[in-house]
Amino acid sequence: MVNLDAALRRLEAAEAAPHGPDIAKARLVIISDGDPSHENRALGVAEQLGHPDAEILQVRLRTGFWQYVLPYVAPFVPVAWWVENLPDVVREAGRCDVVMGSGALAGKMIATIKRQLPELFCVVLGQQFGGVVKVVDVLAAAQHEGVAKAANVVITLAHPSRVSRVRTQQEAERWAKRLAHVAGPQLRGPKVVVLLSGGKGGGPMQPAEVREVLEPVIKLVKKREGAVLLSASMRTGALAYELAQALLERAKIAHYAWAPGEATRRDNPYLAFLALADVVLVSATSPATVSDVATAGKPILLWGDFASVPRRLRPFYAALAKQWRLAWWNGTEEMLFNQRPPAAGMMDTAMIAGFVRARWGKR
């Protein structure tokens, strides 16, 4: 006969325990190396796990000499050599149940913490330095990152993302007044989002590249009485962004342009843009941005030279094209305005969260 009182006591004890069965009730912290894109990937997974306001623990990387050599020597030297506040990070992480981070630097830090505090449940996102996968509880990576399969590894097509239908819609509502001139009922044509990244060669965009991307879009959008919503990145470069603004102003079309680093414009409309977009033009040098747009369920036009795309990314773009999520931009009116949105956004972030939740339940 089952002792109901004893069973209830065991259930109450499990729910009250620090490492209870529900990871949403666990204490979770995100280790950040300072890269916003890495933070957003980890925050996206944390939100799927029931932590909408996850704490971020910022790591202070050493400057000076280390600032220049770290990308090359980090796999081979102890974390304590290039992290100023490692004791503080370990102490704060020890107060939690789950430690998560994205990127190779954060991954190595988390592996170091795991070796000192083996009771912690550690999750790392993205390709890692050698040995990390053997230490952590979960490693999640995109297919193009080339991570080998293992019991604690989950492979997805795209990067995890903080993008969701609910979040993008909330941002669109929050930005409604500021974007009324490019998204209001007076607009007759489509809304084309242009996400500028770096140039084809890996540095800032060159003037010729800005013109190559924007001039056909501006001409076609003006013809259809639509709007251009443009967002630049840190890699775009100030001169390229200024040229993009000038081209939009000169064309006298409905538009809104944003770039990081402007003291008076720190509020980023990126997610609102994704909610409003009829089609999104993205650089082929930005797989993380492509992942965001695919997660949002918007049709993608990829700008760039296929021959210059790294070989590891080609299967990723080919898979998205096969799913009718992506096409290579050819500058034509038919391509810009005849893209149909996919039936649903990609669910890679939810897939990672499900894998993490399952591993947590088996620990």
Asked if residue 269 has pLDDT above 50, the reply is yes
Q: What is the DSSP letter of 260?
A: T
The answer regarding whether domain 4-157+349-362 maps to CATH 3.20.20 reads: no
- Quick one: average pLDDT of 189-207? 86
Q: Which of 359, 5, 349 is nearest to 165 (CA)?
A: 349
Q: Given this model, what pLDDT does residue 326 score?
A: 94
pLDDT tens profile 35-65 = 888 999 999 999 999 999 999 999 888 888 8
pLDDT tens profile 159-197 = 999 998 888 999 999 999 999 999 888 888 999 999 998
Report how far residue 102's alpha carbon sits from residue 33's, in angstroms, rounded to the nearest whole number.
8
pLDDT tens profile 130-151 = 789 999 999 999 998 889 999 9
Asked whether the beta carbons of 100 and 45 are under 8 A apart, the reply is: yes
Residue extents of the structural domains in the chain: 4-157+349-362, 165-337
Asked if residue 1 has pLDDT above 60, the reply is no
- Give the residues across from 83 on adjacent strands: 61
Q: Give the chain's mean pLDDT.
A: 88
Q: What is the DSSP letter of 129?
A: -
Asked if residue 11 has pLDDT above 60, the reply is no
Report how far residue 194's alpha carbon sits from residue 257's, in angstroms, rounded to the nearest whole number.
9
Asked if residue 122 has pLDDT above 60, the reply is yes
Q: Given this model, what pLDDT does residue 266 score?
A: 63
pLDDT tens profile 293-311 = 999 999 999 998 777 788 8
Here the tokens at position 307 are: 């021959």
Q: Given this model, what pLDDT does residue 39 score?
A: 92
Q: Given this model, what pLDDT does residue 17 score?
A: 47
Helix-then-strand count for the chain, H and E: 15, 12
> What's the burial of 49, exposed, middle or buried (CB within 10 Å: 0-12/13-18/19+)?
buried
Indicate the fold that domain 165-337 takes in CATH: Rossmann fold (3.40.50)
Asked if residue 329 has pLDDT above 60, the reply is yes
Q: What percent of the chain is predicted at pLDDT more than 70?
A: 92
For residues 305 and 99, the model is more confident at 99
